[in-house]
Amino acid sequence: MENYLDLRNSNDYLKLNKIGNIIKNGGIVVFPTETVYGIGTNALNEKSIKRLYEIKKRLLNKPISLLVNNIDMVNQIAKDITKKEYELMEKFFPGPFTIILKKKDIIPNIVTANLDTVGVRMPNNDIARKLIEYAGVPIATTSANISGEISETNLKNIIEIFNNKVDYFIDGGESNLGIPSTIVKVTNDIPYILRKGSIKEEQIFKN
């Protein structure tokens, strides 16, 4: 496959530069994270996000979270971030933790299903973070599966599903966790868990 990069036994991440540019220019890429494999594109490109929804057969009323590789990128896409929200990000980034923040206007409404908030995560996976760095933009990412079906941790199965539908596949081996991220929203300085995942409730509320 010409559009396949095998990094299972390599840390030659310079090869990701080309794929980062594909994402930046609106391409769609399947790549590993520590939870499950993700399928993503430039979070600031409305046209490519629409294509992502179509490939996934995902309903437009279901928001897509954004992956970032540093706090500066969080500040570019979110506003009015509270002290508590920063504390949680400091504690759980990078990791299987998605936090719901108020979005800036730079984020297309299609990403957030017209909500004024956006889910943000910093993956604990070197390939994913390097890919975001080379793309230079947050990556709108959802699990690499058809909407409603099982989340995949094995790239071979994903290629069978999305072959000829996406622009590139990155193989990082089996995902470590195989469980989606925990989603949290802070209201009045109290974190509320919207989706249970790898990070447990007692970890979030532990001082």
What are the sequence ranges of the domains in the chain? 4-158+168-205
**72-93 pLDDT, tens per residue?**
999 999 999 999 999 999 999 9
Question: Is 70 exceeded by the pLDDT of residue 177?
Answer: yes
Angle at 95 between CA 169 and CA 81, to 5 degrees: 110
Confidence of residue 174 (pLDDT cuts 50, 70, 90): confident
What pTM was computed for the model? 0.95
User: What DSSP letter does each residue of 162-185 carry, written as one string?
Assistant: HTTTSSEEEE--S-SS-SPPEEEE
**94-151 pLDDT, tens per residue?**
999 999 999 999 999 999 999 999 999 999 999 999 999 999 999 999 999 999 998 8
Residue 207 has a pLDDT of 58
Q: Which residue has the higher pLDDT, 1 or 11?
A: 11
CATH topology for 4-158+168-205 is DHBP synthase (3.90.870)
User: Are 50 and 141 within 8 A, CB to CB?
Assistant: no
Q: Is the peptide bond before 63 cis (omega within 30 degrees of 0)?
A: no
Q: Which amino acid is at 54?
A: E
